[in-house]
Amino acid sequence: MKRWSFVLSLLVIFVSVLFLCEGGCSGAIEELVNKGGGAGYTDDDYDDDYCDDDTAGGDDDDDYEPYEETPEYECPQDTSPQVLFLSADDSNSQASPVVARAIIREGGIVPLRKLRTYEFTNYYDIQYEEPPFGHVRIVPQLRIRGDSVFDVEYVFQIGVQSHRVSGLQRRHLNLTFSLDTSGSMEGKSLRLLKATCRVIASQLKKGDIVSVVKWRHYASVALDSHVVQGPNDPTLLAVIDSLYADGSTDLHSGLVKAYELAWKNYDPERMNRVILISDGQANTGVTDIEIIAQAAEDSEKEGIYLIGVGVGDPDDYFHDTLMDEVTDAGKGAYVFIDSEEEAQKQFGERFMRNVEIAAKDVRVELTMPYYFIMDEYHGEEYSENPEEVEPQHLGPNDAMVFHQFLVVCDPDLLDVWDTINVKAHYTHPFTHQRMTEEEEMTIEQMLQAPADQLLKGDAIVAYAEALKEIYRKLEQGDRDEALRICRETKEKVQDVASFLNDDELREIVELLGIYEGTIQRR
């Protein structure tokens, strides 16, 4: 009886949404959030067609033809709860949205190969209530997906929030720069490399140890085990100012020398980091990856983690493979710097979340009713086997976001009093104790709970997936469809930006407006 009461309430909400959307959907968003029955935005919301080639969604556009028949998932024979293990991303990669933004602002079309949706949810700021120091907080959120080809589909998002730390509270650093000064770095790339190094220098404190290795066709040590006197240490700044680009590329020598210095000054009480800055023109070999991985892997104490920084022109010079490989192996953050403002954001405002560790080897375990089918997952990987999912480190002042679409294989099986259980398994970075946090809620409890973070995450995913589909449509020569997707996604993100009063979403709206003009001129 409770189940049918819930279904009836959903029907009432959907009728309300149809009425509200006649005058614009901003009110519909608020209505659905207040009632706990919507995915944040409704009838016109982003289609499955924006996400994967093998799915499509309904739309009010007269020129758009939805499925004639609703696709179906076969329910599993095993009715025991299903258990999945999730990873948002191996290395906290954040490059894709910066690359996309730069290309859009330059009037270009964003290539599909440069778009990874989980990097968008990594990059944009989605914050939850802070947990006690040394712990993480799990926040599962659920809403009905209003525009779905399935009878019942949910937007489900898990947030895993770390504690917050200021720069004054941090441990001392043992920091080694590995800097690409080969000929390809001439111009913008070298300017951004220097700008990034200067921002990092501004965040250092007295007692930090800094080394600098520069490499072109050979590697040389520009600064060896220097104990800085505080922020903007003059000796370090002089080394940064003296850098110039010349010659060919020998990444291997640069990595070997950088790790020699990092190990020389290794101290388990410090943050031990290598920061690799390059335009990505170099190639890694098996030996390079082994050097990085061996330094990062240490089950008894903290290893030496590698942070990858791509610099330069994303359309012409930056190649993604290098940084993706080295940060996966090095278990550090991966960012792209296209401007001095971005350097300040990533290593000024976000210095702690990109450099420090709050929880090591985080792996999320999701237990849910058997009738839920994972239709789309916007992280990097998930599996029933935990060994197939690479755990990820989480920095302070940050949250992992696991965004997905869940389809109910048979609506008659749905019981809103069934529970969803989420566990986060992780290692304390200082005591190295293995820990677990757990949160369990009924479907009904999640539908009634606040979900602002889900709304923002959903809008970000809509943006990333729309960029993919726009590229596909343009490759097919269908400019009109690309324009339709761009305009509708802009409207959807605008609705959520207004509802949440969110500046990051407003920037996305601005970018989609620029992109619309670019598509029109093609």
Q: pLDDT tens, 165-214?
A: 987 788 999 999 999 999 989 999 999 999 999 999 999 999 999 999 99
pLDDT greater than 90 at residue 415: yes
Looking at the DSSP bridge assignments, the partners of residue 425 are 363, 436
The SS3 assignment for 235 reads: helix
- At residue 497 the predicted structure's pLDDT band, cuts being 50, 70 and 90, is very high
- At residue 286 the predicted structure's pLDDT band, cuts being 50, 70 and 90, is low
> What are the domain boundaries of the chain?
2-90+131-165+360-466, 169-355
Say how far residue 474 (Cα) sits from the centre of its chain.
26
Closest CA to 111 of 315, 404, 354, 344: 315
- Rounded to whole angstroms, the Cα distance separating 346 from 199 reads 9
- At residue 284 the predicted structure's pLDDT band, cuts being 50, 70 and 90, is low
Phi-psi category of 477—alpha, beta or left, where left has phi over 0 and alpha has psi -120 to 50?
A: left
Beta-sheet strand order (sheet of 305-311): 219-227, 209-215, 173-180, 271-278, 305-311, 334-337
Q: Tokens for 181, please give them.
A: 């000064």
| β strands within 428-521, DSSP E | 434-442
Q: Which of 17-26, 100-109, 137-146, 384-393 has the lowest mean pLDDT?
A: 17-26
- At residue 280 the predicted structure's pLDDT band, cuts being 50, 70 and 90, is confident
- At residue 81 the predicted structure's pLDDT band, cuts being 50, 70 and 90, is very high
- Rounded to whole angstroms, the Cα distance separating 13 from 131 reads 34
pLDDT tens digits, 345-390: 999 999 999 999 999 989 999 999 999 999 999 998 899 999 999 8
pLDDT greater than 90 at residue 261: yes
What pLDDT sits at residue 71? 66
- Superfamily, domain 169-355: von Willebrand factor, type A domain (3.40.50.410)
Residue type, 471: Y
Closest CA to 358 of 421, 326, 400, 299: 400
Q: Tokens for 478, please give them.
A: 């269908």
pLDDT greater than 80 at residue 101: yes
